[in-house]
Amino acid sequence: MTIKFGAHLVDTFCLEHHLGALRRSAVFSVFLLGACGSGSVPSVELEAGEVQVSVSPHSSCWGSGDERTCGTGHYPDPPPDLGSGQQFEIAFPHDGWEFFVNCIEPCADTTFEVSPSSERRWIVDIDGPHGDLELFVSGFGPQGDVQVAASIAVP
């Protein structure tokens, strides 16, 4: 069964999966935008200056049609470190995706602008909070959705 959430159709199985994750996260709207699926979930590549990290999603729904695999792993503690900067890039190996970035600590519920720089790359500008930030990166597209975490020091 699917329900409509905004402009998106969300499988109720996927919604139930993500609602469990919601209880552990201050960021909830991005969870509800994904679709479910199965297959091999690719890593999300994050780059800030000279620092590049490949992050495996700690939560995802992945696949196509009725074949889907949803899972919530352990939130990384500490999350991967992007070093220092006011901007970083996201790269993902599939077309048709959108990404959202929210601050978890110490600026809960702050959303940062994410702009596509190509079909598979996005630039994130961190405008506002300074200091050591913990970020929640969520993407959704034709194959499903992925969530990863990272930290960055903003001068």
Which amino acid makes up residue 128? G
The tens digit of pLDDT for each residue in 102-135 reads 999 999 889 999 999 999 999 999 988 999 999 9
| Residue 122 contacts residue 116 (beta carbons within 8 Å) | yes
The tens digit of pLDDT for each residue in 51-101 reads 999 999 999 999 987 787 899 988 899 999 999 999 999 999 999 999 999
Q: In the 8-state DSSP scheme, what is residue 42?
A: P
| Residue 68 contacts residue 37 (beta carbons within 8 Å) | yes
| Residue 110 contacts residue 101 (beta carbons within 8 Å) | no
Task: For residue 18, count CB atoms less than 10 angstroms from its CB and return exposed for 0-12, middle for 13-18, buried for 19 or more.
Answer: buried
**Domain 2-154 top-level CATH class:** mainly beta
Q: Domain-by-domain residue ranges, the chain?
A: 2-154
Specify the pTM: 0.75
pLDDT at 39: 52
Nearest-Å Rg of the Cα atoms of the chain is: 15
Query: Is pLDDT of 150 > 50?
Result: yes
Which amino acid makes up residue 121? R
pLDDT interval class at 10 (50, 70, 90): very low
